[in-house]
Amino acid sequence: MLKKLLSLSNILACVTFILSLVALILYAVNVNSTGYFQGVRADGLVLLLIFVMVFDLLIIARSFLNFEGILDKVLDLLVMVLKVLVPLFIMIAILKLVQSRVEGFGYIFFSNVDVAKEVATPANIASAGVSITAIVFSAIAVIAALVGAFISPKKD
C-alpha cells in the first residue's frame, strides 16, 4: 500500500494538492489583510482550487481501487479527465487571479513618481507580494500537475 501511495503519480498529485492549498491560503490572506488587495476577490478562484484538491485526492484514491472489466475502464477514463482538469483549473485560477490584480500591479509598480509615492506604500507592496507569491505557487502546481498528467497511476 505504501508502494502505491508513493508512486510517482501520487507524489505529484500530493505536491499539486499541497501547492494548491498553499496558494488558496495565500489568496485568503491577501484578501483579508490590510493592503491594496484587501477585499479584491477573484471570482471562482476558491471553487476552482477546491475542485483541484478534491480531484487530486480522487486521483490518489484511484491507485488503491482495482476493478475488473468496464468499471475499471470507466475509472481510468475518470482519472484521465481529472488529470486534464487539474492543471486546467489551476491555470484558470491563475488567470483569474492575474486578471483581478493586473491593474493594481500597474499602480503599485509602474506608476509615475508622484502616484507611486501615494500607492507604493509598504502595506500595498506587501499585499502585491502575497498575490505574486500565490501566483508563483499556483504556477508550480500547474507544472507538477502537468508532469503528473504524463504519468499513469497504474503500471503496465
Partner 1 sequence: MKRRTLNSLAVGLTATFASFLAVSVIGGQIANSYRANIDSALGTKSYVTVEGEGRFNKKFTTIDQMINAARAVSVKEGQEGTVLMKNDNAVLPLAAKSKVALFGIGAYATFPYLAGDLKAGNADAIDLETAFTNAGFTLEENVASVYKTVTNKHKSTSTNPWTGETVETIAYDAAPATSPGDMVQFQNNEVPASALAAKAGVAENWVDNIDNKATAFVVITRGAGEGNTYDPVKLAKDYLGNDTTKVALALSDDELSIIDLAKSKCSKVVVLINSGNNLELGEISKGGAHEVDGIAYIGCINDYQLEGVVDVLSGKVNASGHLSDTFVVDNLKSIPASQNIGSGIFTDASIVEANATNGYDPRWPNTEIQTGVHSSFASQTSYSSDSYIVEAEGIYVGYKYFETRYYDSIANPSFKADAKAGSHDGNAWSYDKEVLYTFGSGLSYLDYTQNITNVVVDKTNEGDVTATVAIKNNGDKEGLFAAQLYVQQPYTQYDRTNLVEKSAVMFLNSAKVLVPAGQTKEVTITVPTKYLASYDSKAAKTYILDEGDYLFTAANGAHEAVNNFLKAQGHTPTSGEAAGAVTKWNSVSLDTFTYAVSYNNAVTNQADNADLNYWLPGKVEYMTRQNWETFPKNYNEVSFKIADSAKKDEWLKEFRGQQYTLKTNNPATEGADKGLRFGTDANLTYDQLSNINDQYWSDLVSEITIDEAVGAVIHGGSQTDKLSNVENPIVAQNEGVSGFTTGYTFTDADKASSTWCKAHPDAANYKFNVHSQTLIATSFNPDLAYEWGEVEGNSGLWVSRFDLWGTGLTQRRTPYNGRNYEYISEDSMLANRLGAKILRGCADYGIINGPKHLGANDQEYKRAGLNEFMTEQKLREGDLRCFQAALEPKDGNGLAVMIAFNRIGSTNACHSVGVIKNILRGEWGFNGIISTDMATNPYYFIAEAMVMSTITQVADFAQNDNHINANDGVDKTWGYISVSSVKNDKEFVEQARQDLKYQLFTFANSYIFNVKTTKVTPAWETAINTVKVISIILTSVCAIGAVALLFVPGKKKEVA
Give contact residues for partner 1 (rule: CB under 8 A): 36, 38-40, 43, 73, 76-77, 80, 83-84, 86-88, 91-92, 95-96, 98-99, 102-104, 106-107, 109-115, 117-119, 121, 124, 142, 145-147, 149-152, 154-156
How far apart are the C-alpha atoms of 72 and 78, rounded to whole Å? 10
- 128 sits in which H/E element: helix 122-149
- Distances in Å between the Cα of 142 and the Cα atoms of 19, 41, 52, 111 are 9, 21, 10, 31
CB of 121 or CB of 133, closer to partner 1: 121
Q: How far is the CB of 125 from partner 1 (least distance, A)?
A: 12
Cell numbers found for residue 83: 488529470
How far apart are the C-alpha atoms of 42 and 46, rounded to whole Å? 8
CB of 5 or CB of 117, closer to partner 1: 117
Q: Using N-to-C axis directions, what is the helix angle for 45-62 and 69-110, rounded to 10°?
A: 150
Q: How far is the CB of 27 from partner 1 (least distance, A)?
A: 16
Q: How far is the CB of 25 from partner 1 (least distance, A)?
A: 21
Q: How far is the CB of 26 from partner 1 (least distance, A)?
A: 19
CB of 53 or CB of 142, closer to partner 1: 142
CB of 111 or CB of 133, closer to partner 1: 111
Q: How far is the CB of 13 from partner 1 (least distance, A)?
A: 13
**Up-side HSE of residue 85: CA atoms within 13 Å toward CB?**
17
